[in-house]
Amino acid sequence: MRRIAVQEEDFDTGAELAALAGDGAGAVASFIGVARGEADGRKLAALRLEHYPGMTEAALARLADAAQARWRLAGVTIIHRVGRLLPGQNIVLVATASAHRAEALAATAYLIDRLKTDAPFWKAEEFADGTARWVAARPGDEAAAAAWGKDLPPGPDGL
Protein backbone atom coordinates (compact mmCIF):
# COMPACT_ATOMS: atom_id res chain seq x y z
CA MET A 1 0.00 0.00 0.00
CA ARG A 2 1.16 3.49 -0.79
CA ARG A 3 -0.70 6.66 0.08
CA ILE A 4 0.57 10.18 -0.52
CA ALA A 5 -1.67 13.16 0.10
CA VAL A 6 -1.42 16.91 0.56
CA GLN A 7 -4.68 18.18 2.00
CA GLU A 8 -6.36 20.81 4.14
CA GLU A 9 -8.52 18.40 6.13
CA ASP A 10 -7.29 16.44 9.13
CA PHE A 11 -6.40 12.76 8.86
CA ASP A 12 -7.53 9.80 10.93
CA THR A 13 -4.28 8.42 12.33
CA GLY A 14 -5.85 5.20 13.57
CA ALA A 15 -7.46 4.43 10.22
CA GLU A 16 -4.26 5.22 8.33
CA LEU A 17 -2.13 2.97 10.56
CA ALA A 18 -4.73 0.19 10.44
CA ALA A 19 -4.66 0.33 6.63
CA LEU A 20 -0.87 -0.16 6.67
CA ALA A 21 -1.11 -3.01 9.19
CA GLY A 22 -3.84 -4.61 7.09
CA ASP A 23 -1.27 -5.60 4.49
CA GLY A 24 0.03 -8.25 6.90
CA ALA A 25 3.29 -6.52 7.75
CA GLY A 26 4.96 -7.40 11.04
CA ALA A 27 5.72 -3.80 11.97
CA VAL A 28 4.20 -0.36 11.48
CA ALA A 29 6.15 2.73 12.52
CA SER A 30 4.87 6.28 12.46
CA PHE A 31 5.62 9.92 13.14
CA ILE A 32 2.94 12.55 13.70
CA GLY A 33 3.89 16.21 13.56
CA VAL A 34 1.64 18.57 15.52
CA ALA A 35 1.42 22.37 15.39
CA ARG A 36 3.31 23.93 18.31
CA GLY A 37 1.84 26.47 20.66
CA GLU A 38 4.95 28.64 20.89
CA ALA A 39 8.10 29.55 19.03
CA ASP A 40 11.12 31.28 20.53
CA GLY A 41 9.16 31.81 23.74
CA ARG A 42 6.32 33.58 21.94
CA LYS A 43 2.74 32.27 21.88
CA LEU A 44 1.61 31.06 18.46
CA ALA A 45 -1.95 31.63 17.26
CA ALA A 46 -1.52 29.43 14.18
CA LEU A 47 0.80 28.01 11.56
CA ARG A 48 0.09 28.61 7.89
CA LEU A 49 1.46 26.04 5.46
CA GLU A 50 1.56 26.57 1.71
CA HIS A 51 2.72 24.33 -1.10
CA TYR A 52 3.07 24.16 -4.85
CA PRO A 53 0.35 21.72 -6.05
CA GLY A 54 1.67 18.92 -8.22
CA MET A 55 5.30 19.65 -7.42
CA THR A 56 4.83 18.86 -3.74
CA GLU A 57 3.08 15.52 -4.36
CA ALA A 58 5.80 14.56 -6.86
CA ALA A 59 8.51 15.37 -4.31
CA LEU A 60 6.76 13.22 -1.69
CA ALA A 61 6.44 10.39 -4.22
CA ARG A 62 10.20 10.57 -4.91
CA LEU A 63 10.85 10.36 -1.16
CA ALA A 64 8.60 7.28 -0.93
CA ASP A 65 10.38 5.74 -3.95
CA ALA A 66 13.76 6.27 -2.30
CA ALA A 67 12.59 4.72 0.99
CA GLN A 68 11.10 1.73 -0.82
CA ALA A 69 14.35 1.25 -2.75
CA ARG A 70 16.40 1.38 0.44
CA TRP A 71 14.25 -0.80 2.74
CA ARG A 72 11.87 -3.72 2.15
CA LEU A 73 8.61 -1.94 2.87
CA ALA A 74 5.10 -3.34 2.59
CA GLY A 75 3.65 0.17 2.63
CA VAL A 76 4.27 3.89 2.93
CA THR A 77 1.89 6.66 3.97
CA ILE A 78 2.78 10.35 3.79
CA ILE A 79 0.02 12.84 4.53
CA HIS A 80 0.85 16.53 4.91
CA ARG A 81 -1.67 19.20 5.70
CA VAL A 82 -1.68 22.72 4.31
CA GLY A 83 -3.65 25.80 5.20
CA ARG A 84 -4.06 27.49 8.58
CA LEU A 85 -3.49 25.12 11.50
CA LEU A 86 -4.08 25.87 15.16
CA PRO A 87 -1.78 24.74 17.97
CA GLY A 88 -2.32 21.05 18.72
CA GLN A 89 -3.65 20.19 15.27
CA ASN A 90 -2.00 17.50 13.13
CA ILE A 91 0.41 18.68 10.44
CA VAL A 92 1.99 15.53 9.05
CA LEU A 93 1.78 11.74 9.26
CA VAL A 94 4.62 9.60 8.00
CA ALA A 95 4.18 5.87 8.44
CA THR A 96 5.80 2.76 7.04
CA ALA A 97 5.10 -0.96 7.25
CA SER A 98 7.58 -3.79 6.88
CA ALA A 99 8.18 -7.33 8.03
CA HIS A 100 10.49 -6.16 10.83
CA ARG A 101 10.58 -3.12 13.13
CA ALA A 102 14.13 -2.00 12.30
CA GLU A 103 13.25 -1.33 8.66
CA ALA A 104 9.97 0.39 9.50
CA LEU A 105 11.60 2.61 12.13
CA ALA A 106 14.56 3.52 9.92
CA ALA A 107 12.36 4.25 6.89
CA THR A 108 10.05 6.46 8.95
CA ALA A 109 12.98 8.43 10.38
CA TYR A 110 14.47 8.79 6.90
CA LEU A 111 11.20 10.03 5.42
CA ILE A 112 10.52 12.68 8.05
CA ASP A 113 14.14 13.90 7.99
CA ARG A 114 14.14 14.18 4.20
CA LEU A 115 10.62 15.62 4.02
CA LYS A 116 11.71 18.58 6.15
CA THR A 117 14.30 19.60 3.54
CA ASP A 118 13.25 18.03 0.21
CA ALA A 119 9.53 18.78 -0.05
CA PRO A 120 8.38 22.24 -1.20
CA PHE A 121 6.35 23.52 1.72
CA TRP A 122 6.43 27.05 3.10
CA LYS A 123 5.50 27.74 6.71
CA ALA A 124 4.54 31.01 8.37
CA GLU A 125 4.07 31.46 12.11
CA GLU A 126 1.21 33.70 13.21
CA PHE A 127 1.79 34.99 16.72
CA ALA A 128 -0.85 35.85 19.32
CA ASP A 129 0.26 39.51 19.20
CA GLY A 130 -0.83 39.72 15.53
CA THR A 131 2.63 39.57 13.98
CA ALA A 132 3.76 36.84 11.59
CA ARG A 133 6.97 35.58 10.02
CA TRP A 134 8.04 33.02 7.48
CA VAL A 135 10.02 30.14 8.97
CA ALA A 136 13.51 29.53 7.60
CA ALA A 137 15.02 26.06 7.35
CA ARG A 138 16.79 25.03 10.54
CA PRO A 139 20.44 23.92 10.34
CA GLY A 140 19.51 20.82 12.36
CA ASP A 141 17.01 19.77 9.70
CA GLU A 142 19.65 20.12 6.98
CA ALA A 143 22.13 18.06 9.02
CA ALA A 144 19.58 15.30 9.70
CA ALA A 145 18.73 15.02 6.00
CA ALA A 146 22.39 15.08 4.96
CA ALA A 147 23.18 12.21 7.32
CA TRP A 148 21.06 9.91 5.10
CA GLY A 149 23.00 10.85 1.94
CA LYS A 150 21.58 12.09 -1.35
CA ASP A 151 19.83 9.08 -2.82
CA LEU A 152 16.64 10.55 -4.24
CA PRO A 153 15.77 9.66 -7.81
CA PRO A 154 15.77 12.72 -10.11
CA GLY A 155 12.60 14.67 -10.55
CA PRO A 156 11.02 15.51 -13.89
CA ASP A 157 13.42 18.44 -14.33
CA GLY A 158 16.43 16.15 -13.84
CA LEU A 159 17.30 17.53 -10.39
Give the domain CATH number at 139. 3.90.1170.40
- In a domain? residue 111: yes
- In a domain? residue 59: yes
Report pLDDT digits (tens) over 91-115. 999 999 999 999 999 999 999 999 9
Task: Return the pLDDT at 158.
Answer: 44
Mapping DSSP onto H, E and C, the string for the chain reads CEEEEEECCCCCHHHHHHHHHCCCCCEEEEEEEECCCEECCEEEEEEEEEECCCHHHHHHHHHHHHHHHHCCEEEEEEEEECEEECCCCEEEEEEEEECCHHHHHHHHHHHHHHHHHHCCEEEEEEECCCCEEECCCCHHHHHHHHHCCCCCCCCCCCC
- In a domain? residue 32: yes
- In a domain? residue 54: yes
Task: Return the pLDDT at 148.
Answer: 87
Contacts of 86 (CB under 8 A, 6+ apart): 35, 45, 46
pLDDT in tens, the chain (159 residues): 999 999 999 999 999 999 999 878 899 999 999 999 999 999 999 999 999 999 999 999 999 999 999 999 999 999 999 999 999 999 999 999 999 999 999 999 999 999 998 999 999 999 999 999 999 878 888 888 888 886 654 444 444
Task: Return the pLDDT at 89.
Answer: 98
Task: Return the pLDDT at 152.
Answer: 52
Tell if the pTM clears 0.85, that is, is over it. Answer: yes
- In a domain? residue 37: yes
- Indicate the number of domains in the chain: 1
- In a domain? residue 51: yes
Residue 20 phi/psi, 5-degree rounding, is: -65, -45
- In a domain? residue 137: yes
Task: Return the pLDDT at 24.
Answer: 80
Q: Which domain holds residue 84?
A: 2-147
Query: Which residue in 101, 110, 102 sits closest to 69, CA to CA?
Result: 110
- In a domain? residue 157: no
